[in-house]
Structure 1
Amino acid sequence: MKSALAILNQNQIQNRKFTIWFVFAIFFFTIQNSFADSITERFPPPNNFKRVSYPNGSFATYLQNLPLKPQGSPVLLFDGRKKTNQVHVAVLDFPLLRDDLIQCADAVMKLRAEYFYSLKEYDKIQFKISNGMEVGFSRFTKGERVQVNGNKTKWKTGKFKKGTGRDVFEEYLRFIYSYAGTISLKSELKKKQIGELKPGDVWIEAGSPGHVVLIVDQVTGKDGQTLFLLAQSYMPSQEMHILKSDSQYSPWFEVPQNQSLKTPEWEFPAKEIYGFVK
């Protein structure tokens, strides 16, 4: 049997190890958090501009406060490789699946869904899929799922998991990623005028392939000039990121004065700006 002294020494060693581990953990998370910030924290308005404020709880404010990965982070693809064309100034803290599913339109829908999920407004989480069917998260929470047969779909019941838990929500999103895209997303958006743009609006060109970029922040100058930040995912599935611009205010984009909006990897017709209806 071990002596009392031996047991005491062993306990002291264990306590010392725990203390060292605890101090290291605190230090690690302190350092990590010191590099973690949001869009509004990392990108102050340019000189003579002021950030546009929106109501607390709005989608615009949600986007303006999205967390970012540490400065200098590269954009990673779904399989962990670095994206070849690094055209960003910041990377959103935007977890990916290990499958090539979350591309441009999917990333926009994910953020929209995550916004309502954070508010527990589950009935507002719904998207159209490519055949026009409305697929709402609320039906997943009741244990329903969509049966797909070619271009035909219908709701079905069975021994599916119910509830609003993260696992059911992720299953719902995976379905949306698989059967929605730029064409279906554009069909449920409302056309907007350039002067109406705000965070949450998108430039979108529907097609196979198509592309979409999302306005995530906005500032205005004394003369009424508007600047905005754009975020995108792309093909293949990759972390969502804040784009560079050719503007003198880069990474802020200026409102296009001609027929197109040029981004690093896509050129959109300037008039193709849309917003969510709900």
Structure 2
Amino acid sequence: MRKAALIILIIVTLVLLFYQLNPKPIKHFVNAVTKKVQLLDKDSLTIASRVNTPKGFVRVNYPKGSFQEYLRHYNLKPFGSKIINYDNSVYYWQKGHIGILEVPVPKNGLQQCADALIRIRSEYLWDTNQRDKIGFNFTSGHYCSWSKYAKGYRPKVNGNKVTFNKTAREDYSKSNFYKYLNLIYMYSGTLSLYNELNAITQIQDLKIGDMLILGGSPGHIVMITDEAINSKGQKLFLLFQGNTPAQSVHLVKNLEDPINSPWYDLKMNAIIPVSNYIFYNSKFVRFK
């Protein structure tokens, strides 16, 4: 018993001695935790109100009604909500997010990482009466628009050959719109978006709505949903993602930077860990 007490006394003494000689690591940890708590407002239900800006940063202004403002003020589920898979099972890893977006997950399992962002972009265009702009390339390179689909045209896919024929009646309803999106989910993805969309080559040009992408099968993609800047011109960004299997769209933590998390200091052509995925040689694209 005396031996055990002596060992405990020695350990405590060494810890106190280490802190006196080198207190910075402990102070850094305490500061990181304190700042992290201050950045989150757990009672708020939008992205902009859930996450505060770090000290010295302010949000970049965008016009009212823009895609950027639409994303910044996207609704969130209550804090602590879990990531749920399309089959209603709980995703195995719940440590990489600080918010769940109010985006329904279809039970068909089609709405995976790229598809979730396609949906959000398309719903914005739908809600702002820009429906003639809704359209995406298949992985084959063939363009499929909502306007043509609504008029009754359907694709016939034979390998990489795609033809469109009028085989259905005209239907401009919201329910038919989601049928169109299911078609896009089947034949589009990170590879088609990477090949189709405009590349962003300068980090200072990044803005809300741009996407960090690895085009491939499989690939991955996340979207910038908020942007802040300081007096030196340094920018920080918030990111959200869907995933495979199809699951809740979620606002991700920055696990590499506990002080500024969930904000990211993004770099061009860099290694960027995002939640449970790592982007190597990072590339960015923008919806047209």
Settle same-fold status: TM greater than 0.5: yes
- Indicate the residue corresponding to 2:141 in structure 1: 132
For 1:222, which of 219, 231, 234 is the aligned residue? 231
Q: Is the 8 A contact 2:53 2:59 kept in 1?
A: yes
- Indicate the residue corresponding to 1:42 in structure 2: 50
- Indicate the residue corresponding to 2:213 in structure 1: 204
Matches within 5 A, 1:48-127: 48-86=56-94, 87-127=96-136
SS at match of 2:119: helix
Residues 148-207 of structure 1, C-alpha deviation per residue, up to 9 Å, x if partnerless? 23332211112x242321111001000000111111011111111111111110110111
Give aligned-pair identity as a percent. 38
TM-score (norm 2): 0.80
- Indicate the residue corresponding to 1:20 in structure 2: none
- Indicate the residue corresponding to 2:285 in structure 1: 274
Q: Work out the CA distance in 2 between the residues paired with 1:162 and 1:92.
A: 32
Q: Work out the CA distance in 2 between the residues paired with 1:53 and 1:199.
A: 10
Structure 1: tracts of 5 or more residues without a match: 1-34
Q: Is the 8 A contact 2:110 2:185 kept in 1?
A: yes
State the one-letter code of the partner of 2:81: S
RMSD of aligned residue pairs (Cα, Å): 1.7
Matched, 1:166 2:174: yes
- Indicate the residue corresponding to 2:38 in structure 1: none
Deviation at 1:257, TM superposition (A): 7.8
SS at match of 2:279: strand
TM-score (norm 1): 0.83
Q: Is the 8 A contact 1:229 1:252 kept in 2?
A: yes
Q: Work out the CA distance in 2 between the residues paired with 1:145 and 1:209.
A: 26
Residues 116-137 of structure 1, C-alpha deviation per residue, up to 9 Å, x if partnerless? 0111211100000111000000
More displaced 10-residue stretch of structure 1: 42-51 or 258-267: 258-267
- Indicate the residue corresponding to 1:23 in structure 2: none
Aligned residues: 243
Q: Is the 8 A contact 2:210 2:223 kept in 1?
A: yes
State the one-letter code of the partner of 2:181: L
- Indicate the residue corresponding to 1:264 in structure 2: 275
Cα gap change, 1:66 to 1:179, in 2 (>3 Å): same
Q: Work out the CA distance in 2 between the residues paired with 1:205 and 1:53.
A: 28
Cα gap change, 1:258 to 1:227, in 2 (>3 Å): same
State the one-letter code of the partner of 1:250: S
Deviation at 1:112, TM superposition (A): 1.0
- Indicate the residue corresponding to 1:242 in structure 2: 251
Cα gap change, 1:227 to 1:154, in 2 (>3 Å): same
Deviation at 1:258, TM superposition (A): 7.5
Deviation at 1:140, TM superposition (A): 1.4
Deviation at 1:267, TM superposition (A): 1.8
State the one-letter code of the partner of 2:274: T
Q: Kindly report structure 1 stretches of 4+ aligned residues shifted beyond 3 Å.
A: none
Residues 1-43 of structure 1, C-alpha deviation per residue, up to 9 Å, x if partnerless? xxxxxxxxxxxxxxxxxxxxxxxxxxxxxxxxxx672111111
Deviation at 1:56, TM superposition (A): 1.4
Residues 212-243 of structure 1, C-alpha deviation per residue, up to 9 Å, x if partnerless? 11101011112222111010111100111011
Q: Work out the CA distance in 2 between the residues paired with 1:36 and 1:219.
A: 19
SS at match of 1:107: helix
More displaced 10-residue stretch of structure 1: 215-224 or 170-179: 215-224
Q: Work out the CA distance in 2 between the residues paired with 1:76 and 1:177.
A: 19
SS at match of 1:50: strand
Q: Is the 8 A contact 2:269 2:280 kept in 1?
A: no
